Structure formats: C-alpha cells, structure tokens
Amino acid sequence: MLDASSRLAILVLWLGLAACNQEAPPPTTATPSGYATQSFTPSGFTLPQGAGCEGDVSRFRAVMNNDYQTGNVKLSVYQQVSDAIDKADHLCASGNGAQASALIRSTKSRFGYP
C-alpha cells in the first residue's frame, strides 16, 4: 500500500493531467472592419483609369474592394481574388504585362466577373 505522501503526489499528478484534457473554447475570428460596411455602391464610385496591366489590376482591385465592402463576396473569396490580384500586380511591375493581364482575365472568369 502507498503512504500518504505517495498518494498525494499521485493525486496531484492525476489532477495535473486531467487539467491538460480540458477543452479550450474555440478561437473567435474577428470580422474584418471593411466587410459589408455599406449596403450599396457609393454614388461617387468610379473605376480607376489606366491602360495595360496597371489599369486591369487597379480596376479589378477597385471592383473587388467594393464588392467586399457591400457584402457581395465572402472573405474567403475576397482573399483568393486579392491574392491573384497581388500576383498580377507583381507581374505587371516586373515587366510581364501580358501575363498580368491574362491572370486578371482568368481570375475574373473563374469567379464569375465579366
């Protein structure tokens, strides 16, 4: 049989292990402040001007930002499209304008934009 100090040590160890198995509440995700802050496109909204890949990138970015702010796209879609826009922006800046514009066109097509 175990003496009192051994039993106490086992009890403390057991309680310590039991505490490790407690489930923590799931982390809460914060809603980005820009999501659905407006119910419609603002009256002063205009698409950016520009030619070539720079214009393609800036116009599609403006459309996506507007669609996100008005709640027309979910965060997951917005992030996917924004990643593609960022990649196209880098391609454009590095002199690969044709590839950048092609990436914008394919992203629009994949997500149902004209």
What does the pLDDT read at residue 6? 72
Calculate the average pLDDT of the chain.
84
Classified as helix, coil or strand, 36 is: coil
What does the pLDDT read at residue 18? 60
Angle between helices 52-69 and 97-110 (to 10 degrees): 30
Residue 29 has pLDDT above 50, yes or no: no
Confidence of residue 1 (pLDDT cuts 50, 70, 90): low
Question: What are the Cα distances from residue 55, in Å, to 10, 28, 49, 61, 101?
Answer: 70, 38, 6, 10, 9
Task: Please tell me the distance from the alpha carbon of residue 1 to that of residue 104, in angstroms, as a whole number.
Answer: 75
Question: What are the Cα distances from residue 62, in Å, to 20, 84, 99, 105, 108?
Answer: 48, 14, 20, 15, 13
> Do you know the residue count of the chain?
114
Instruction: Return the C-alpha torsion angle 90, 76, 111, 59, nearest 10.
Output: -50
The model's pLDDT over 42-78, given as tens digits with 9 standing for 90+, comes to: 888 899 999 999 999 999 999 999 999 999 999 999 9
Range among 9-23, 41-55, 98-112 with highest mean pLDDT value: 98-112
